[in-house]
Chains A and B, each alone.
Chain A
Amino acid sequence: MGYQDIIRQLALEDERIVVMTAENRAVIRELPQVLGDRFIDVGITEQTMIGMAAGLALRGRIPVCHALTTFLIMRAFEFIRTDVGIPALPVKLSGFIPGFLSDANGPTHQALEDISLMRGIPNMEVYCPADEEDMCGMLRDVWTIDKPSYIRLVTKATGFRHSAFERGKAEVISVGEDINIMVAGFLFGEALKAYEILSRMGYSVGLINMRSLKPVDESIIVSLAQTNSLLVTVEDHFITGGLYSIVAETLLKHRMTAAVHPFAMKDKWFRPALLEDVLRYEGFKGDQIAQNIHEVLQNENRYAELGTI
């Protein structure tokens, strides 16, 4: 069952749900016929869409706002913060082509600060599913809770069978003694490959799907830090404010430290190209991640430099 199927199912079950879009219909083309006046396309007016969503939520609706992430989150940021965040209305932001998924569009479309911006808003929850199956497994929970939320959409399949979603909990695939890879979002597929490669190389590797970023699973971060392994964060987000920051904040809160090796965009936008090229160029393919981690573990100097990014 895909994204459009799950929206259709949830909306038909619950008439409070209305689907809004700023003319981004690519993955929801069948919804107008199914939802009738509960499908509201406002044209290219992200700010108005969010204000209207707040008004609809005041009336008891659950608006799902589907738009390209950069414009949804950044053009309309102050509307989200002010009209949705302050009153904590259950508006459900659904961000299409976040991070690397904007592939060849160029930096105007690269949402690499969306997690940082959204988790800074009080009451706003932030979810970062690994793949389409993972996303569809969480939408019912995420959309029926009476809070605002932001979800990074992923319409790609990995074939991985995910465990049941729980708000505020990471999906722990395994915990390793040498390396533990925490990943947020669609890079799960690459992290999974890195996990397999490193395991074949003889390392004891853990893999953790950090699909609930706010609320975040603090206990798994703390327990991984206690393993004395190399912690790795993988995200298609700026290094500031995303998963790496969340891990750092959590460790500090618990008066802990750890060796943490981040894969993130370090104060730059990525080179626009088709997705596979982007991943290769920026060093986020599974084999590159594995090789990079291996080098850090083999090289005392590089290990010692962690934290000096």
Chain B
Amino acid sequence: MTTEKIQFLQQTALKVRHHIINMSTDGGCFIGASLSCADIMVYLYFEYLNLTPEQLNHPERDYVLLSKGHDVPALYGTFAELGWIEKDRLKNHLSTRDHIYWHPNRNIPGIEFHSGSLGHVPAVGLGIAMDCKMKKMSNKVIVITGDGELNEGSVWETLLVASAYKMNNFTLIVDRNAFQANMATEDLIPLEPLAEKFESFGCAVRRVDGHDFTAMDEAFRALPFSADKPNVIICDTVRGKGLPSIEKRADRWFVNFSHDEIAGLHLELEGKGSAGLHSETLTVR
């Protein structure tokens, strides 16, 4: 990728993060998980995927399915920057006027499948990938999971089947921000050594910095990693990336900030001071 391209992706990701901040008030959102995968979303939709607005229903399009539904603000922010949805529409977040709520759903153009219940969408993606393979199409099917989501046995069940059927058009991305809802993954249900776990399930694995566009590009351009294995890309990320007041904070998982706080967060994202937050994660979710 050229330097200009990388700068463009970085600037776009910054805009997406501003959208995410805007969705973290008046009801709030899962801000930490959304910020961690914003660069992954921007890379996929602005650089990698064979997908245009006219092609959203084309049978040979690439597929992205968001299994960790909590981070849908990052996806909606990306869609807004792509022009797939009006930026003004994001103001409808959590209103019955629209369908922009805490988990993805197919009423929003570009969303391939709804999610919210963890450990479901890898199998849905595998079904899509199987049909593509049966029809000898070359689309790529990408499923984004969280790392906490890897607690669900169904993810591993699906990888067994994907491996058995040699589904090398199927790729699992792990947003490895090292946190699940309330604490660090390694303090609750440890996942490491994670790459080895996937390899032992028959997957071809790469591990990259999920905030480094060059590193992601190198990995994704190498897909499929083998002729007969499903692919896994572990993207090491930082929960809350871009906002030091939120980064790696277990208590800033789901937050409903005041308008003053998000004004501070917008400045913090631009490197202009600290937001001085007092709202903490809601325990009801």
**What is A's interface to B at a CB cutoff of 8 Å?**
37-38, 40, 42-43, 45, 47-61, 63, 78-79, 82-83, 86-87
Q: Say yes or no: A55-B114 contact (C-beta < 8 A), given A42-B161, A87-B106.
A: no
Q: List 10 A-B contacts (CB under 8 A).
A: A45-B161, A48-B154, A51-B126, A52-B124, A52-B126, A52-B158, A56-B127, A56-B128, A58-B124, A59-B127
Contact B130 A51 (CB under 8 A): no
B255 within 8 A of A: no
Q: Looking at the assembled complex, report how far the CB atom of A68 sits from the nearest CB atom of chain B, in whole angstroms.
A: 17
Q: Say yes or no: A51-B131 contact (C-beta < 8 A), given A43-B161, A45-B160.
A: no
Contact A55 B134 (CB under 8 A): no
Return the contact of A86 from the options B114, B125, B129, B157 (Cβ within 8 A): B114
Contact B59 A83 (CB under 8 A): no
Q: Say yes or no: A38-B134 contact (C-beta < 8 A), given A52-B123, A55-B125.
A: yes
Q: Say yes or no: A56-B157 contact (C-beta < 8 A), given A43-B164, A79-B123, A82-B117.
A: no
From A43, A56, A87, residue with most partner B Cβ within 10 Å: A56
**Closest residue of A by beta carbon distance from B143:** A55
Interface size class of B (residues with CB under 8 A): 20 to 34
B261 within 8 A of A: no
A58–B113 Cα distance when bound, in Å, is 9
Residues of A within 8 A of B123 (CB): 47-52, 54-55, 79, 83
B122 within 8 A of A: yes
A-facing mask of B108-125, CB < 8 A → 1, else 0?
Answer: 000011101101111111
A57–B134 Cα distance when bound, in Å, is 14
**Closest residue of B by beta carbon distance from A54:** B124
Q: Looking at the assembled complex, report how far the CB atom of B158 sits from the nearest CB atom of chain A, in whole angstroms.
A: 5
**What is B's interface to A at a CB cutoff of 8 Å?**
59, 106, 112-114, 116-117, 119-132, 134, 154, 157-158, 160-161, 164
Contact B157 A48 (CB under 8 A): yes
Contact B124 A51 (CB under 8 A): yes
Residues of A within 8 A of B114 (CB): 86-87
Contact B127 A52 (CB under 8 A): yes
User: A51-B122, A87-B106 provided; 5 other pairs, C-beta below 8 A?
Assistant: A45-B158, A51-B121, A54-B113, A58-B124, A79-B120
Q: How many A-B residue pairs have CB under 8 A?
A: 87
A63–B128 Cα distance when bound, in Å, is 12
Residues of A within 8 A of B119 (CB): 47
**Closest residue of B by beta carbon distance from A20:** B127
**Closest residue of A by beta carbon distance from B123:** A51
Residues of A within 8 A of B59 (CB): 59
Q: Which 7 A-B pairs have the closest CB atoms?
A: A55-B127, A51-B123, A52-B127, A59-B131, A55-B128, A55-B124, A56-B127
Q: Looking at the assembled complex, report how far the CB atom of A65 sits from the nearest CB atom of chain B, in whole angstroms.
A: 11
Q: Say yes or no: A83-B130 contact (C-beta < 8 A), given A47-B154, A52-B161.
A: no
Contact A54 B134 (CB under 8 A): no
Return the contact of B157 from the options A45, A58, A83 (Cβ within 8 A): A45
Residues of A within 8 A of B127 (CB): 51-59, 63
From A40, A48, A56, residue with most partner B Cβ within 10 Å: A48
From B112, B122, B126, B157, residue with most partner A Cβ within 10 Å: B157
Residues of A within 8 A of B129 (CB): 55
From B120, B127, B131, residue with most partner A Cβ within 10 Å: B127
Q: Looking at the assembled complex, report how far the CB atom of A205 sits from the nearest CB atom of chain B, in whole angstroms.
A: 48
From B124, B125, B132, B160, residue with most partner A Cβ within 10 Å: B124
A42–B162 Cα distance when bound, in Å, is 9
A59–B106 Cα distance when bound, in Å, is 14
Q: Looking at the assembled complex, report how far the CB atom of A25 sits from the nearest CB atom of chain B, in whole angstroms.
A: 16
Return the contact of A55 from the options B117, B126, B154, B164 (Cβ within 8 A): B126
Contact A59 B132 (CB under 8 A): yes
